[in-house]
Amino acid sequence: MELHRFAADDGEEIRVQVGGSGPAVVLLHEWASSHRVWEPIAHRLIDRFTVYRWDARGHHGHGEPLSPPSGRKVSVERMADDLARLLDHFRLERPVVVGHSMGALTLWCYIARHGCGRLGRIGIIDQSPRLITDADWRCGIYGDWSPERDAIFVADMRRDFVDAVVRLVCCGLNERARIRYQNHHAGIERMRTYLGMLDHGPLIEVWQTLSAVDFRPLLPTITVPALLVYGSDSNYYPPATGRFVRDALPDARLFVYEKTDHSPHVALPERFAADLAGFATES
C-alpha cells in the first residue's frame, strides 16, 4: 500500500491509499471514519484489483498531525467534486466505486453532479437516499428522524460531540447496540476515545449537508449496475430501505447480510470481498 496525495480544485489536499494491481476499485468510507476501515476488504482484493481508499475532506486517518482549519467548505457536494478530481488524477476509466453510509451519499451526489459516464459499476452499503423522515417516508434514520430531531442532534454535537454520536450509534434500531450502551461495554469506551480524537468542527459541518439531501429522484436515472449490501439488523435503516433502493434503480441486486448492523462489510469482510469481486468482474 502506498500513500498518494492530490489537490482538489479548491486547493485542499486529499490523501489516498493505493495498493494492488488490476481493474480499479474505489472505496468511500462513512462519516467520522477513514480509509482504515476498509483494511480487511482491501487486503482481500489487492491480488486482483487496484484499490483506492481516500480520507474524505474533513476526515483524517493517516496518523499525520491535523492541519489548522483551512476555512474551505466541507460538504457532500464538495466531496462529490473531490471524487471527480480523484478519477481525473489517477486517470480512472469505468472503475467500480463503492460507498458506505456517507460514502454512498457522496457517490450519489457525484452522479447527480457529474453523471454516470465515467463509472463502470457502483456499490451501496446500508444507506438511505434520504436521512430525514416524514409521514410518507419512513426509510430514513431510525424510521423516525424529523428535521426537528436532526436539529437537536446537531445542537447536541456542538455541546458534546462524543456523547451525541455514541448515542446516535447505540440508541437506534439495533437491540444489541442498545444493550452494549446500557452495560458500558468496553467497545463503547473505545468508541468514545476514538471520537474524542477527531476534529469535530468539519464533521458537524458535513453532517448538516448529508441530512439535507434527497437522492430518491436520482435513483431511476442511474444507468450503471449497482451492488447493494444492507445489514438485516441495521441500527439506522428499516429493512424496507434496501428494497426501496433496489426497486428504484434500473439495474441492481440486493444482498442482505443476516445478523449484521450498519456495517455489514466490516462484520463479514470475506463474504463482502467475494461478493464485490464477483460483481466487479462479471461480464
* pLDDT, tens only, 11-39: 999 999 999 999 999 999 999 999 999 99
DSSP 8-state secondary structure symbol assigned to residue 140: S
Per-residue confidence band for 209, with pLDDT thresholds at 50, 70 and 90: very high
DSSP 8-state secondary structure symbol assigned to residue 96: E
Query: What is the value of pTM for the model shown?
Result: 0.96
Q: Are 51 and 25 in contact (CB under 8 A)?
A: yes
Q: Closest Cα partner for 218 from 248, 243, 251?
A: 248
* pLDDT, tens only, 216-244: 999 999 999 999 999 999 999 999 999 99
Cα separations in angstroms, 188 against 140, 164, 167, 208? 24, 13, 10, 25
Which are the contacts of 25, defined by CB distance < 8 A and separation ≥ 6?
Answer: 45, 49, 50, 51, 52, 95, 96, 97, 98, 276, 280
pLDDT at 205 over 90: yes
* pLDDT, tens only, 49-104: 999 999 999 997 655 544 545 567 899 999 999 999 999 999 999 999 999 999 99
* pLDDT, tens only, 94-140: 999 999 999 999 999 999 999 999 999 999 999 999 999 999 999 99
Q: Report the percentage of the chain scoring pLDDT > 70.
A: 96
DSSP 8-state secondary structure symbol assigned to residue 221: G
Q: Closest Cα partner for 127 from 48, 62, 216, 192?
A: 216
Instruction: Dump strand ranges (E) for 94-234.
Output: 96-100, 121-125, 226-231
Sort strands 121-125 and 50-55 into parallel, antiparallel or unpaired: unpaired
pLDDT at 210 over 90: yes
Q: Which three three-digit cell numbers place residue 245? A: 433502493
Q: Closest Cα partner for 104 from 197, 200, 199, 237?
A: 237
Cα separation, 32 vs 45, whole angstroms: 24
Cα separation, 29 vs 104, whole angstroms: 8
Give the mean model confidence (pLDDT) for residues 255-264.
98
All domains of the chain in start order, with CATH: 2-130+213-281 (3.40.50.1820)
> Within 13 A of 78's CA, how many CA atoms are on the CB side?
21
